[in-house]
Chains A and B, each alone.
Chain A
C-alpha cells in the first residue's frame, strides 16, 4: 500500500514528515507539490526522516509526502552505454533536451529511454527452462559492447511465451516465465534493481589477473588487480583526476564506469568532449562506447552525491553479471563521505572523528566490498574493480576518510604534493605507495611478463629507497663527498625517476605503454646500473662512468622507442655494453 504523509520539518536536504507509519526504511518518496525525489532514512513512530535528492528551497510546511513503495532503484538495460547520468541515474542529455541548460526541480525519475527500439537476438524459446542471471538475448548496444539480456535474479521457471529475434522496444515484454507456483513474471529488456543492494553471484573467485593500465608506476611497480580495490589519495593539484582519466582511457577493462562525485562540472565536460574522440587501440572504436558517466558535480544536491556511488556500483555489477570486466573510477570518495557527514550533521547525529558519522568506516567497507572477481549466475567470469580517489583535507593522509579507506583497499597509490610541484607526473610517491596484489599476481607476471619481472621491480624500488636516504645526506653536505658507488645510485635513480616513473599523458607513445615495453625499459635501466656499478667497483671515476649521451638515451627511451617496435631498446643495450667494455679495457 502506498502511504501519504505531511512535511513537518525542513533543514537543507533533510525533511521530516508525520503520518508515515506505513512507509519503509529506504523507500523512495516524492516530497511536496513539486514531487521532489527523496528517500526515507529514518523512522520513529509515525515520523519519518527523509533525504531529498533535489534542492529543497520552496518546499512548504504541511505539503504532501507520497510513498512509491519501492526502494531507490535503477532501470538497468540497453541505453546505459556511452551515456551520462546524474547521481540517481537520470540521463542528463535527456534533461538537457527537455529543460535546457540548468537542471530544474521536480522533473521526476527519468530513466533510460524505454521507447527506444533495439535489434534483439533471442537465445531462448518458449518451453525452455530459465533461471535468474541466465542470458536469454543479446543486443549490440555499441560496436564495442554487446548488451546481454539477463533473466532478473530470483526468477526461475519455464518460458511460457517469448518473442522472436528482431526489433523491439526497451519496454516490450520479451518473455513470460512461469515458476512452480504458477506465478508468471514478464521479462523485459531492462530490469529494476535497488541501488543499495549488491547483485547476487555464483561465487567469488581468486584474484589472478592484473588490470593493465599502461602506466608504468602502476603496472610495473604497484599493480591493480581485476576485481581488486585501489585508492588514490592526494591533495588538490596533485593529479588525482588526471590519473583517473588516464585509467579510464587506457585500462584493459571491458567497461568503464566513471563517477564524478562532487567534482568540477568542467571535468565532466572534458570527458564528454574528449572520450568520443579517443580511439581504443584494440578495437579502433571511440572509448566512449565502453564508458558510462555518472555526474554529481559539486553544485548538484548533496543527497544525490551520497547516492551516486551506489548508482555507479550497481551499474558495474549489472555489466559484470554479463561476464564483463568492469572498472569503476570514483572521483572522489571524500566528497561522498562529506555528503554523509553533511546529512548526518543535519540529522543531529553524534559525530565521531572530525564530524564524520561513526558509521563512515562501515559504509566505506560496504562499498569497496562490492568489488571482486566472480563467477556469475550464468557461469561466466566477470569482475568489478574499484579505483577510488580520496581528497584528504589539507593533503593530510591521517584524516578519517583516508585512514578508513586504507583498511579496505589493497592498493594504495599516494599522490605527493612535492612531486606535483616539480611537475613530476604522475605524482605517485613510490616510497609511500603499496600494492597488496603483487603476491597474488606473481604467477601472472612470471608467465606473461618475464621470469624476473617482480624481482627486478623489487631491486629498483630498493635502489630508490637507498636514494632517498642518500638524498638526506646530500641535503646536508652536497653530492661531491659521496663515494662513487653511492653517486651512481643517485644517477641511476635519476634515470628511473625521469625515464620510467615520469610518464607524459600528452605524448602519443608515452600516454599508454604496453607491458612488454615497460619490462624492457626496466631491464635496460638495470643493465646500465649493473655495468656501471661494476666499473665503479674497479675504481673508474664517475666522470667516465656517467656518459651523458648514453644516460640521456636511456632516459628518453620512453619517447624515442615506438611502442610497436622495441628493437631500439636492444640496440641501446648493446651500446651500453660497447661503451663499458671499452671503458674497462682502457682502465685494465
Chain B
C-alpha cells in the first residue's frame, strides 16, 4: 500500500525536505507528480521523520503544496538488453532518441555491489589505440581504467574520438567490441561532435550513449555515470562483450557532487568538495575490470578537465589515486601544434608492465619505453640549461639531446588525429628517433637489443 504525501516542507536547490514521513528507505526512489509532469527523486538522508530527497529533473516549478509524492520502496533501476546498442539515453536511463523503451525481465540497480577482489582477473591484453605515444609509453590494457587529464580548450575530445574509432584488441575479439559513451554536462556542440564522429567511423551501431547536456539538471549528472556503468556491466558480464567506456567530463560530475553536498549542509573538505569525493569516484572507477569466470571486460577512459591545468586539484588528484595511471595533455605541445599533445612525463599506465613485451607486443618494448622516457627527461634538463647558456654553447652530447627532443616531439608524439599506426610501426619510430643519440647514451637497453634495432 503506497501512501501519497501532499506537502513539501522545504525546497532548496535540487533538494526537497519532507516531514512526518512514517516509512522511508535510504536510497529509495520517490515519484513526484505535479499536474501532468512526473519527476523522480532519491532519498539521500533520513532523520527521524524528516526525509531529504534529491530530485533528478530539478525542482523548478515545484511548490510546497503543488506536488503529490509517492515512495516506491525501490532503488533506482533500469531495464537493459542487447537492444541498447545504438541507442541514446538520458540521466536516469530514459531513452532520449525518440525510440521506444527497453524491455527486460530483470531490472538492474544502478548502484551495483562491489566486485570481490578474489573474483577479478588481472588485466593483461593490450589494446592497440593506434596512437604511438599511448601504445608505446602508456599502453592501454583491456580492463584498465586510464583517465585523460586535460585542460579547457585542449583537444581531449578529438583524442577520445580517435581512440574510440581506432582501438583494436590485439587478440581478435573485435566482433564483440562495443563502446559506452557518457557525456556529463557537456555542451550540445561537443555532444554533436561525438555523434558525428561515431557516425563517420561507422561505429555508431556499436555505441550506447548516455547524454546529459550542460543545461540539463545537475542532479542527473550524478546518476548518469551509474546508469551507463550498469549498462556496461550488463554488456560485459552478461553478454560477454568487450566494452570501452568513455566518460566526459568527470569535472562536471564532481562539481554536481559538491553542489548537492553543500545543499545538504555537509562539512566540506578540500576546495569545498565533500570528504567522500574519493569513495564516490572509486565507486565509479572500480566498476571497470575483468572477472575470472567471464569473457567480457570493461575498459574505462574517464576524461576530466583540470581546473586551471592544476594536476594537484582534488579532482585529478583523487582520480589519479584510484585509476591505473593517467594520460596527461599539455598546453605547451598543443600550442606548438603537436597532436595529440600528450605530455609523456606525467603520463603513466600502471598495468602496462604486465601487458607488453614478448608474447604481447614485441620483446624490445619495455626497455625501449624505459629508454625513451629517461632520454627525454634528460632533454628537459638540457633544455632548461640551453635557456640560460644558449643552444650553441651546449656540449656536443647535449646538442644531440636537443635534436632528439625535437624529433621525438615532431615524429614520435606528433601524428594528428586521423593517422593510425600499428604497434610495430610505433616502436620503429621510437628506435628511429632514439638513433639520434650515440649508443653509449642508451643506458637502459642491453647491447643485444641495441645491435638488433639501433639505426636500422
Q: Which A residues have a C-beta under 8 Å from some C-beta of B?
A: 8-12, 55-62, 84, 92-93, 95-96, 99-105, 235-237, 260, 262, 264-266, 268-270, 272-273, 295, 297-302, 335, 338-339, 341-342, 344-346, 348-349, 351, 354-356, 391, 393-396, 421-423, 474-480, 498, 506, 548, 555
Contacts and interface: CB of A to CB of B under 8 A. Distances in A.
Contact of B115 (A61, A272, A299, A391): A299
17 contacts: A11-B46, A57-B25, A57-B27, A58-B26, A60-B23, A61-B46, A84-B117, A96-B116, A99-B116, A103-B114, A105-B113, A266-B123, A268-B120, A298-B286, A302-B279, A342-B275, A476-B388
Given A11-B46, A298-B285, A342-B276, 19 more contacts: A10-B26, A10-B46, A11-B47, A59-B25, A60-B26, A61-B23, A61-B24, A84-B117, A93-B118, A102-B113, A237-B326, A264-B322, A265-B120, A270-B354, A302-B276, A341-B275, A345-B276, A421-B345, A475-B388
Nearest to A94: B118
B22 A61 contact: yes
Given A11-B45, A236-B321, A264-B286, A96 B275 contact: no
Contacts of A300: 114
A423 B378 CA distance: 11
A297 B321 CA distance: 12
B348 interface: yes
A239 to B, nearest CB: 10
Interface in B18-51: 21-28, 44-49
Contacts of B440: 548
B353 interface: yes
Interface string B38-74: 0000001111110000000000000000000000000
Interface stretch (B7-15, B99-107, B312-320, B401-409): B312-320
B111 A55 contact: yes
A31 to B, nearest CB: 11
Nearest to B322: A298
Contacts of A477: 388-389
Contact of A103 (B116, B267, B317, B322): B116
B346 A421 contact: yes
A503 B325 CA distance: 21
For the complex of A and B, list the 7 residue pairs with the smallest distance between their C-beta atoms, beginning with the closest: A394-B312, A298-B282, A355-B269, A57-B27, A299-B286, A422-B377, A236-B320
Given A57-B27, A96-B119, A342-B279, A265 B289 contact: yes
Interface of B: 21-28, 44-49, 75, 111-123, 143, 237, 266-270, 274-276, 278-279, 282-283, 285-287, 289, 291, 293-294, 312-314, 317-318, 320-322, 324-326, 345-346, 348, 350-351, 353-354, 370, 373-374, 377, 384-385, 388-389, 393-395, 440, 443
A523 to B, nearest CB: 23
B278 A61 contact: no
A423 B377 contact: yes
B143, B266, B293, B384: which has the most chain A beta carbons within 10 Å? B266
A92 B118 contact: yes
A130 B116 CA distance: 42
A101 B115 contact: yes
Contacts of A354: 269-270
Q: Is the interface of A mostly helix, strand, loop or mixed?
A: mixed
A57 B115 contact: no
Contacts of A236: 317, 320-321, 326
A298 B44 CA distance: 21
A451 B40 CA distance: 75
B23 A266 contact: no
Contacts of A264: 286, 322, 324
B122 A423 contact: no
Contacts of B318: 393
A492 B429 CA distance: 34
Contacts of A62: 23
A145 B314 CA distance: 44
Contacts of B320: 235-237
Contact of B267 (A235, A348, A475): A348
A422 B317 CA distance: 20
A297 B47 contact: no
A124 to B, nearest CB: 37
Given A8-B48, A299-B287, A423-B373, A101 B21 contact: no
Nearest to B344: A421
Contact of B119 (A101, A422, A475): A101
Nearest to A338: B278
A198 to B, nearest CB: 28
A12 B393 CA distance: 63
Given A236-B321, A355-B267, A423 B374 contact: yes
A394 B286 contact: no
Contacts of A60: 23-26
A58 B25 contact: yes
A270 B354 CA distance: 10
